[in-house]
A and B are shown apart, each in its own frame.
Chain A
């Protein structure tokens, strides 16, 4: 049994809603078979973001032809995605119209996801608006207990932000992720009649008291510090809400069950293995509708991971390898192999007549285009998944010189968020990439 969404009320309080929602109703029941929502609408749409560091070698990345179906073929770099070609849309030619490159691996990446210029320089920088995943989460998280999940296969570099100096650091330990999602607070649909643990209600009461402390403290502060504590307050309310939803128990979805715990990953340094373990847990979280938004930072900007068979850490390699950069290209191929396994995992979770991947929209991108020179033109962008038919796939759409902010607007439209524009100043766009919208 689901109840009216308290987040809707909170959003009203904070005035945070910037876009209108054209989505499945937020207060909804599942039908008795768990195959669709009770009112007949589709399963919830998910937004999944998958990123890697340091760009690509453009000459090996961009498919040689545009068009749909048989008209386009995968490029060398995209070859590992052959099994997913039918559910893949490649966007090329787009440029992040950032005002500067003061922090080369972030000054384009964050504007792509926020629509606003990065603030700061060098080792003191921050996006000043929520990243796309968080904007989307505000609208589509619905009644799920976890507004969003952030995962990192290598380290804890955050690529998701709530706003200025408010990162969402990723979880990199599959066991910790499992405990968070499927630990004692998880109610297996099979044990729906078990008595409620009183801790869920008591913890909510305590968070409420702590929220009062934040409000008391804010009274003595200046405007900037009050705003910083607003983030704290939002976090407290999110957690309170999560506990309330966990008390309700998970939706009765066919593929939802309490999984067994993953193997201990302490000392696991291979990001491919760590990625696989994290994705296993994530796909079950999606199966149980514990969250609808997740960000996987497979490899971070300024990536320190050294791929086997290469002479240096990835970031260093992108700058030091001369010529056509065959080794950098090979790392991109390996990266796309990992991305293919991510899509495989989503496709393997049955939901209704299809899979989670059919109801998801996946955005895969990186922090610059050509890593060697930190180019912001011809940005690598992949969209994948079904988005319930809202995304037209099996195509390569090239928009030479186009504004890359269209990517975020396209994602929002495909998820049913009818925002009229995305970004400000030179970053602003008013039209999505319509060729990929269903």
Chain B
């Protein structure tokens, strides 16, 4: 029996290895492959890597879908819509034209076309660029099909570069670029078992860790067969985590987990929240991402610190919103809030507080629901049919939200779910619907006592500590990373391997970088079932 020991960590991390938790691979029931579509940011990063950071990609290529809390899972459900076909085609030409302009052309055209319809040079460009774009070598037939159009275009416009525009645009609008097929191959070491083939694994690693296509070094490793061995995978993962592109990978996961794509749709009643602007919303999202970068790269610390840290990146707009002095006149700088500040961690940031609130009021329910679902991996059902969800208007008898939502907890058909959400959100009531700090509502002092599964606490700082100490929190973090990396919900068959990752995550101080490495080596990431 071969066992994968996914927790052999590189020495450069300076970690004493935990006892490896071994998952027997010959009994591991691998899930079938999923077919994901590239996200907007993956397309943008790929174009940057292929042609240059200044090459512009049109926004809103095709709609995303959030499934089970993650757009990463939605990418395996959606296809390219008819409207998407149109947008991808337009984007492919827009990008290809920039790639062939005077500034960028030399990077992808190694030959000098002998004529406007020079097929040889076109083939060379398509083959070379295509290997990066499609994350695998092209077949001769694939090259020939695109060259034929490129030659026809070159001839029609009497311009070889115009032909290359068509060739590159063809590569970019192809499903071989836009979708992520991940073929399997027999595992040479375990008869009957299957693993992702080298190129598929290269793509899995690069989209997971870098949010972009593999570089040449990773594709070369796949071509050599290096990615079929633990050591070969390890060498690449170590390199990749140390690469600046790992920041993109982290930010993509953090944005997905924190649902930051919804921030652009947040509209506040400006008579109630006059300081709320689209710019502030964008800054709030960036702040959340910087908190993750701080925890994972600057500090390389326990991810639980995301909830309890008082280190905060602010730009002048956020500094005003938080009532602190801006550390820099432009862009972001780090401040440290006082130890007795109630504004603590992710749950004290505008990117969470304003997103999970209404246009003119806060929402204990929405905030509590996010904590339950995203941070503790619980499921909350929607309200039953026909329920009148009216919350009473503020009145002298019911000045605070706690008074007004009391009915949620009195009515048994509501209380089942609301008792799990509202007491968490009510502890955050010192932050209004736009995230500003307050101690009173309607002339009454806000009561911020809360309860999380029999643990009593007070206020936002108490909630942060309670969530961090909750037994479901750490496993949920591992689960959220894993679901994101795999692009699918987890099944019972995944549980033993997941439990192994949790054990290792604890042993490594709940730091994300070792978890990435462990997950990349896990059978969850490398083994694949048959196509269904």
**A and B interact physically:** yes
Q: Which residue of chain A is the closest to B388 with respect to CB atoms?
A: A373
Residue A221 is within 8 A (CB to CB) of chain B in the complex: yes
CB < 8 Å neighbour of B81 from A121, A169, A213: A169
Docked-complex contact A102 and B149, CB < 8 angstroms: no
Once A and B bind, how many residue pairs between them come within 8 Å at the CB atom?
A: 171
Binds B, one of A250-258, A309-317, A354-362, A404-412: A309-317
Q: Does more than half of chain A's interface fall in helix, strand or loop, or is it mixed?
A: mixed
Q: Which residue of chain A is the closest to B78 with respect to CB atoms?
A: A165
Residue B170 is within 8 A (CB to CB) of chain A in the complex: yes
A419 to chain B, nearest CB (A): 23
Docked-complex contact A235 and B85, CB < 8 angstroms: yes
Q: Does more than half of chain B's interface fall in helix, strand or loop, or is it mixed?
A: loop
Residue A399 is within 8 A (CB to CB) of chain B in the complex: no
Docked-complex contact A239 and B79, CB < 8 angstroms: no
Residue A93 is within 8 A (CB to CB) of chain B in the complex: no
Residue A156 is within 8 A (CB to CB) of chain B in the complex: yes
B178 to chain A, nearest CB (A): 8
Docked-complex contact B267 and A305, CB < 8 angstroms: yes
A residues 254-310 in Cβ contact with B at 8 Å = 304-306
Docked-complex contact B67 and A313, CB < 8 angstroms: no
Which residues of chain A are within 8 angstroms of B85 by Cβ–Cβ distance?
232, 235-236, 238-239
> Please, how many angstroms separate the alpha-carbon atoms of A155 and B85 in the complex?
20
Residue B62 is within 8 A (CB to CB) of chain A in the complex: yes
> Please, how many angstroms separate the alpha-carbon atoms of A221 and B176 in the complex?
13
Contact with B along A72-106 (1 / 0, CB 8 A): 00000000000000000000000000001111100
Binds A, one of B107-115, B344-352, B353-361: B353-361
Binds A, one of B43-51, B317-325, B389-397, B451-459: B389-397
Docked-complex contact B269 and A228, CB < 8 angstroms: no
Interface residues on B, range: 35 or more
B286 to chain A, nearest CB (A): 20
Docked-complex contact B532 and A235, CB < 8 angstroms: no
Docked-complex contact B531 and A169, CB < 8 angstroms: no
Residue A336 is within 8 A (CB to CB) of chain B in the complex: no
Residue A324 is within 8 A (CB to CB) of chain B in the complex: no
> Please, how many angstroms separate the alpha-carbon atoms of A126 and B156 in the complex?
44
Given contact pairs A221-B35, A235-B82, A306 touches B62 in the complex (Cβ within 8 A): no
Which residues of chain B are within 8 angstroms of A210 by Cβ–Cβ distance?
170, 173-175
Residue among A101, A121, A210, A239 with max Cβ neighbours from chain B (10 Å) = A210
Docked-complex contact B82 and A168, CB < 8 angstroms: yes
Which residues of chain B are within 8 angstroms of A400 by Cβ–Cβ distance?
none
Which residues of chain B are within 8 angstroms of A306 by Cβ–Cβ distance?
267, 269, 359-360
Given contact pairs A214-B175, A220-B531, A313-B360, A123 touches B69 in the complex (Cβ within 8 A): yes
Docked-complex contact A313 and B79, CB < 8 angstroms: no
> Please, how many angstroms separate the alpha-carbon atoms of A347 and B492 in the complex?
60
Which residues of chain B are within 8 angstroms of A122 by Cβ–Cβ distance?
381-382
A379 to chain B, nearest CB (A): 15
Residue A322 is within 8 A (CB to CB) of chain B in the complex: yes
- 8 A-B pairs with the lowest CB-CB distances in the bound complex, closest first: A235-B85, A101-B385, A313-B359, A235-B82, A228-B79, A124-B67, A198-B156, A232-B80
6 A-B pairs besides A122-B382, A206-B173, A312-B269 with CB distance below 8 A are A104-B385, A121-B382, A123-B66, A202-B153, A228-B78, A234-B82
17 A–B contacts from the bound complex (CB under 8 Å) = A104-B383, A122-B381, A124-B66, A167-B63, A206-B166, A228-B78, A229-B179, A234-B82, A235-B80, A305-B267, A311-B272, A313-B267, A313-B360, A316-B360, A372-B390, A373-B386, A375-B386
